[in-house]
Amino acid sequence: MAQTNGTDKSLESWIWDAACSIRGAKDAPKYKDYILPLIFAKRLCDVFDDELNRIAKEVGSRAKAFKLVKQDNKLVRFYLPLQPANLDEPVWSVIRKLADKIGEQLTTHLRAIADENPLLKGIIDRVDFNATTHGVRDLADDRLSNLIERISEKRLGLADVEPDIIGRSYEYLIRKFAEGSVSSAGEFYTPAEVGMVMAKIMDPEPGMEIYDPCCGSAGLLIKCELALDEKMRAKRPSPSGRGAGGEGRRYAPLKLYGQEYIAETWAMANMNMIIHDMEGEIELGDTFKNPKFRKGNRLRTFDRVVTNPMWNQDWWTEKDYDADEWDRFPKGAGFPGRKADWGWVQIVLASLNEKGRAAVVLDTGAASRGSGNANTNKEKDVRKWFVEQDLIEGVIYLPENLFYNTTAPGIILFLNKAKPRDRKGKLFLVNASQEFAKGDPKNYLTEEGIRRIAEAFKGWKEQDKFSRIVTREEIAKNDFNISPSRYIHTGAGEEYRPIAEIVEELGVIEEETKATDMALKGILSKLL
């Protein structure tokens, strides 16, 4: 149900309207790097006010409270060096009342906040609100003033909106930006319902360490914490009434870790974590070239890994794999060829501890490319190795048009380094291609669809035209094609295969045919 705060308009609607106040809905995604830090700063200001008011009740005035927190920043989570002329006014009023050189002064204020809070360095101060291109302001003061005023309409303090609500609204805004940024959306956003399916099946326990090597806006990590909160609330409702993640928490939160190589997205991930009132360690850098989570000359390992790497990356070469310093690519598995999907799967495997499990979103072609072809296919060889090592727990085939940078359906591949005895030598496959509702611009999984998929997978429940347990022997007979669409037909006697998947396979066959022709010409030329 949509949440409200002082008006009939939902927090989600308000947050999107504020974003659109610059130049309308069409252009809002272009300004996400301005809008996200401002809403984040508003939340910080309002929470800081709440903390000041709490201290003021104990010491007698806000003036004394300001002095105390300035002397001891540890009295508050984030110390903000913003002090209104009238100390009884909200801290945000310092920003709201900017009237001259707004972009310049706002940038100075946010950088001052970052200087006082090492955790916010590079996060809240990344953007220059006074930036110009060819002498023209990227965001003029009048539009910036309008944005600040719209953001000022709602209070985002502790008593006004709980972390899970403001967190959902912030993710809603990120999703709306993804809708308008088709070319790059896949780099920072995985649909929330896909993340929740992954989190529910990962079934994290209190205190577990969860990792995402390509974390984007940190949505998959956050979903794991939300899934844990939901599970623990079902076991024992919080006495505080604020939910398991609030002050009544009686269990250890998850330890969340991620790495992201785009600086702006890394900042987004950190803001998203903080605004959800979650703590995590998000590192900046290219995970393939320079993994930050290491232990000696190996990768650090985790209880769970959840990730959605960019699909079909083609700039990794066999030399890159051979030059690896961290023993991430098992010799028996081999180089996965021109597409890096199974290279990422190998990195995920190397990041799991001895009992670890993982959920990885991949292009559907990663499940089937090379199978059924007479020629050797490196990607199929890696897939075969994973099947034969009994590391694959199962695969979920998703509906089409869920993701923001493609209409292709995608799969979720699940790894398990400690399969239960009764599941060894088997894979659980789900064809969820029909489990969607039509949306604009994208389809989405319904709450019922999420529940059905997660419950079937967790319980290994076979359902007609939906899920099957398949043995390794059957996978081998199908030339190590692990796509659920190969084994589970959703229609009466017909096999549903998306056009995107067929085109992908035709492309591979065409390349193999060219290679065969070249080899044949070489042989014939020697005979002439």
Parallel/antiparallel/unpaired status of strands 392-397 and 411-416: antiparallel
Beta bridge partners of 470: 427
Those residues with Cβ within 8 angstroms of residue 286's Cβ, 6 or more apart along the chain or in another chain: 261
The closest alpha carbon to 469, from 460, 479, 480, 478, belongs to 460
451 and 334 in one domain? yes
For tokens 């398991």, name the residue. 244
Q: Report if pTM > 0.85.
A: yes
340 and 431 in one domain? yes
CATH value at residue 279 = 3.40.50.150
DSSP assigned state of 329: S
pLDDT for 213: 98
pLDDT for 240: 46
Those residues with Cβ within 8 angstroms of residue 391's Cβ, 6 or more apart along the chain or in another chain: 349, 415, 416, 417
Q: What is the 3-state secondary structure (H, E, C) of 110-122?
A: HHHHHHHCHHHCC
Q: What is the 3-state secondary structure (H, E, C) of 350-375?
A: HCEEEEEEEEEEECHHHHCCCCCCCC
214 and 153 in one domain? no
Q: Beta-carbon neighbour count of residue 59 at 10 Å?
A: 12
Those residues with Cβ within 8 angstroms of residue 167's Cβ, 6 or more apart along the chain or in another chain: 222, 272, 275, 276, 277
The answer as to whether 50 is a domain residue is yes
459 and 384 in one domain? yes
The answer as to whether 74 is a domain residue is yes
Chain-centre distance for alpha carbon 28: 21
370 and 265 in one domain? yes
124 and 266 in one domain? no
The answer as to whether 16 is a domain residue is yes
CB 473 within 8 A of CB 427: no
Distances (CA, A) of 29 to 16, 180, 278, 316: 10, 6, 25, 30
166 and 225 in one domain? no
The answer as to whether 267 is a domain residue is yes
The closest alpha carbon to 39, from 3, 12, 78, 57, belongs to 12
The closest alpha carbon to 355, from 392, 413, 298, 301, belongs to 301
The answer as to whether 231 is a domain residue is yes
In sequence order, what E strands does 21-139 have? 132-133, 136-137
CB 359 within 8 A of CB 414: yes
pLDDT for 3: 40
Q: In what order do the strands lie in the sheet with 467-471?
A: 280-284, 255-260, 209-212, 302-307, 352-362, 411-416, 392-397, 426-431, 467-471
End-to-end CA distance of the chain: 77
113 and 209 in one domain? no
DSSP assigned state of 437: B
- Residues 233, 234, 237, CA angle at the centre, nearest 5°? 45
The residue segments making up the domain with residue 37 are 11-172
pLDDT for 527: 67
Token couple for 393: 């727990």
53 and 166 in one domain? yes
d(CA 104, CA 95) in angstroms, rounded, equals: 12
Give the burial class of 287: count Cβ atoms within 10 A of its Cβ; 0-12 exposed, 13-18 middle, 19 or more buried.
buried
d(CA 75, CA 54) in angstroms, rounded, equals: 11
276 and 405 in one domain? yes
pLDDT for 4: 40
Query: In a 3-state reduction of DSSP, which class is residue 158?
Result: coil
The answer as to whether 327 is a domain residue is yes
pLDDT for 497: 54
The answer as to whether 157 is a domain residue is yes
264 and 161 in one domain? no
The answer as to whether 180 is a domain residue is no
Distances (CA, A) of 118 to 44, 158, 222, 271, 488: 15, 23, 22, 13, 52
d(CA 338, CA 312) in angstroms, rounded, equals: 8
> pLDDT truncated to tens, each residue of the chain (528 aa)?
344 444 445 899 999 999 999 888 788 888 999 999 999 999 999 999 999 999 999 999 999 999 999 999 999 999 999 999 999 999 999 999 999 999 999 999 999 999 999 999 999 999 999 999 999 999 999 999 999 999 999 999 998 998 888 999 999 999 989 887 655 555 678 999 999 999 999 999 999 999 999 999 999 999 999 999 999 998 876 554 444 445 556 899 999 999 999 999 999 999 999 999 999 999 999 999 999 999 999 999 999 999 999 998 888 888 989 999 999 999 889 888 888 999 999 999 999 999 999 999 999 999 999 887 766 789 999 999 999 999 999 999 999 999 988 889 999 999 999 999 999 999 999 999 999 999 888 999 999 999 999 999 999 999 999 999 999 999 999 999 999 999 998 874 444 555 655 666 666 666 656 666 776 777 777 666
Distances (CA, A) of 292 to 211, 285, 286: 12, 7, 9
d(CA 487, CA 33) in angstroms, rounded, equals: 44
157 and 58 in one domain? yes
d(CA 13, CA 149) in angstroms, rounded, equals: 16
The closest alpha carbon to 482, from 385, 354, 348, 357, belongs to 385
Give the burial class of 520: count Cβ atoms within 10 A of its Cβ; 0-12 exposed, 13-18 middle, 19 or more buried.
exposed
CATH value at residue 166 = 1.20.1260
Token couple for 319: 């030399």
DSSP assigned state of 463: B
How many distinct structural domains can be found in the chain? 2
The closest alpha carbon to 363, from 323, 403, 315, belongs to 403
d(CA 365, CA 253) in angstroms, rounded, equals: 36
